Amino acid sequence: MAKKEGALELEGTVVEALPNAMFRVELANGHKVLATISGKMRQHY
């Protein structure tokens, strides 16, 4: 799979599931971000 230039890939823990396949995620450094899923994961969510 080709990687998009400028895209970030990080790991974290989902702390809250929000509507429309959005999630509040806490990263290892303590920052909280709003994340979404895409591709086949979104199709089967």
The domain segmentation of the chain, as residue ranges, is 12-43
Q: DSSP of 3-15, one letter per residue? A: PPTT-----EEEE
Q: pLDDT of 3-45, one tens digit each?
A: 778 888 889 999 999 998 899 999 999 999 999 887 676 666 6
Q: What is the pLDDT of residue 45?
A: 63
Give the separation between CA 32 and CA 23, rounded to whole angstroms. Answer: 10
- CATH number of the domain located at residue range(s) 12-43 in this protein: 2.40.50.140
